[in-house]
Amino acid sequence: MPVIGTEIDELNEALAGLDVRERLALIGEHWGRLAVASTSAGAQSAVMLHLLSEHLPDLPVIFVDTGYHFPETYRYLSELQERFPVNLQVYTPKTTAAQQEALHGKLWEQGEEGLEKYGLINKVEPMNRALADNGASVWLSGVRREHSQSRANRPFVERQKDTLKVYPILDWTGDDVANYMEIYSLPQHPLVASGYVSIGDWHSSSPLGEGMRPEDTRFNGIKRECGLHEASGGADFQI
């Protein structure tokens, strides 16, 4: 169902006044089969996967496998999938990591322009393909305002090109996440113990060091977002 203008405002107001279980119930009732979710299998992904398995177990959950994830990430996702049987779908770029490096070099070493191209090839295009394959116009994500300055003013519902982005745990704090993980005995990503607070591809993630902000641990501090959660990252991208 198309959602425009004042209806987005009304949905934001409604979601803000609900707890996460009520939010997921409203999302399921409002959009049903038009929605998918995504997971990065990152530092706190267990929370969203557990919530989805409990409240929207049939919802497709997209994992974009760039081919550059840490070995620990692949093992962590396998553990989470075994514990929380969600409808996981894995999407990969149209070109392999070896092909990309042969054609373009190591894009993540080519400044902001290289990182933009890397994100489009490895993350945006596969996610857009997943949305199209599932006939989805609504995308649930575990983005939280506390993650970074670039997310601090996000609404619960926003338009990203032809896709409606919805963030069920947007207002959760780090303490909320930690408490939820403790209550339900959720496993942490193994790299959290090594100081990682944001975990993506191995070449663009680093532990949090002294004097660093969390956003400095991604892409050598050049940028925070990989492309999926930027205005240019919604459906419609072609490559």
pLDDT in tens, 206-225: 988 888 887 788 777 665 44
How far is Cα of residue 235 from the mean position of the Cα atoms in its chain?
15
CA nearest to 90, candidates 136, 33, 133, 137: 133
Per the structure, the complete domain to which residue 133 belongs is given by 20-137+172-230
- 9 domain-assigned: no
- 125 domain-assigned: yes
Helix axes 45-55, 20-31, angle to 10 degrees: 60
Catalytic residues: 226
- 161 domain-assigned: no
- 167 domain-assigned: no
- 35 domain-assigned: yes
> Per the structure, how many domains does the chain have?
1
pLDDT digit string, tens, across residues 155-202: 999 988 889 999 999 999 999 999 999 999 999 999 999 999 889 999
Q: What residues have CB less than 8 Å from 82, skipping those under 6 apart? A: none
- 8 domain-assigned: no
- 43 domain-assigned: yes
Residue 198: which CATH number?
A: 3.40.50.620
Q: pTM value? A: 0.88
Q: Are 92 and 67 in contact (CB under 8 A)?
A: yes
| 237, burial (CB in 10 Å: exposed 0-12, middle 13-18, buried 19+) | middle
- 68 domain-assigned: yes
Place of tokens 């609404």: 155
Regions of the chain short of the pLDDT cut 70: 1-6, 147-152, 221-239
Backbone angles phi, psi at 139, to 5 degrees: -130, 115
